[in-house]
Amino acid sequence: MKIPKRLQPLVDDGMIDEVICQLMSGKEAQVYVVRAGGKPSCAKVFKEAKQRSFKQAVQYQEGRKVRNSRRARAMSKKTRYGQKEQESAWLNAEVEALYRLDAAGVRVPKPYGFVDGVLLMEMIADAEGYAAPRLDDVTLTEQQALEYHAKVIDDVVRMLCAGLVHGDLSEFNVLLDASGPVIIDLPQAVDAAGNNSAASMLERDVNNMRAYFGRFAPALLETRYAKEIWALFEAGRLQPDTPLSGRFEADTSSVDVDDLMEVIDDVRAEEANRRAPSWDEEDW
Ligand SMILES: Nc1ncnc2c1ncn2[C@@H]1O[C@H](COP(=O)(O)OP(=O)(O)OP(=O)(O)O)[C@@H](O)[C@H]1O
Ligand SMILES: [Mg+2]
């Protein structure tokens, strides 16, 4: 095909050998199938900031660290430079997330590099070598739904242990190859510890997956993984291999009433002591 303008510099530099075709254009980006380093790969070209949508909302950016303080100041202003810096921070976020998650063992496309606003990554393929379908494109058996749901939950936990919440996880952002589900589309990933919306985003992500897989395996609709995972994370007890039940009960663990009464009596006695003037005080 004719080489798209945004990919030309990568072709000139020899990073891309050949542009094969364009995949469906998403809301935020265009994705091309290319050959890079001899391998079939995907090149994701981000659209201009003004063509992009909700994901750049302030809510997602909270807690992201901007290392350079001059940059941070510029980003907070509405200058051209500030907007450009904000733009590149946004584009970098997906690349950084991919490297971090790949290293943490989460099944995502392997990142190959980020040049001139173009993300090069592994192409997730089906058995014939074509771009893999999204969950939304397939019909599953109950058994497959249970198995893939478990894998996605496992990856969500790994991701959280690596400090990130996807923030836009749905049947449109999970591909399916021979190894199972592969999570894609991460520019909006949020910082799990530094973002006040992280808990609600995790809940939305996990519940989207429950609703999708629940169509094929209705038993999943009764599960409550989101709350269970977040409670463990908050308590500092979440590891990639922490066993999960899918059930969640708010902590109503029974209180030992005798113990509690003793504590109350002690406090009362202390308070009474404090109030009763000692002889010394009276003398004064
Ligand atoms: N590594 C990949 N391998 C195979 N196909 C891919 C890959 N990355 C993206 N795609 C395809 O390109 C589509 C768009 O990619 P992606 O979701 O990352 O972009 P987007 O523009 O942010 O999408 P949207 O905003 O519509 O969710 C995906 O739905 C998927 O079908
Ligand atoms: Mg997408």
Domains in the chain, please, with CATH? Answer: 5-234 (1.10.510.10)
Q: Identify which of 192, 195, 183, 202 has the alpha carbon closest to the alpha carbon of residue 236.
A: 192
Measured from the alpha carbon of residue 46, the closest ligand is 1
Minimum mean pLDDT range among 29-33, 148-152, 231-235, 275-279 = 275-279
Tell me what the mean pLDDT of segment 137-155 comes to.
98
Nearest residue CA, atom 14 of ligand 1? 26
Query: What is the number of the ligand 1 atom nearest to the C-alpha of 53?
Result: 25
Res 87: pLDDT = 65
Per-residue pLDDT tens over the stretch 189-210: 999 999 999 999 999 999 999 9
Per-residue pLDDT tens over the stretch 78-117: 666 666 666 666 678 899 999 999 999 999 999 999 988 8
Higher pLDDT, 266 or 108: 108
Residue 140, pLDDT above cutoff 70: yes
Query: What is the number of the ligand 1 atom nearest to the C-alpha of 30?
Result: 21
Query: What is the number of the ligand 1 atom nearest to the C-alpha of 55?
Result: 25
Length of the chain: 284
d(CA 134, CA 143): 18
pTM, rounded to two decimals: 0.83
Indicate the pLDDT class of residue 57, thresholds 50, 70 and 90.
low
Burial of 2 (0-12, 13-18, 19+ CB in 10 A): exposed
Res 239: pLDDT = 98
Q: Identify which of 167, 162, 201 has the alpha carbon closest to the alpha carbon of residue 185.
A: 167
Pocket of ligand 1 (CB under 6 A): 23-24, 26-29, 31, 42, 44, 109, 121-124, 131-132, 134, 172-173, 175, 184-185
Res 278: pLDDT = 58
Higher pLDDT, 34 or 46: 34
Q: How far is CA 42 from CA 59, 93, 133, 205, in A?
A: 29, 18, 14, 25
Compute φ and ψ for 84, nearest 5 degrees.
-65, -40
Contact 183, 102 (CB under 8 A): no
Per-residue pLDDT tens over the stretch 36-56: 999 999 999 987 765 555 555
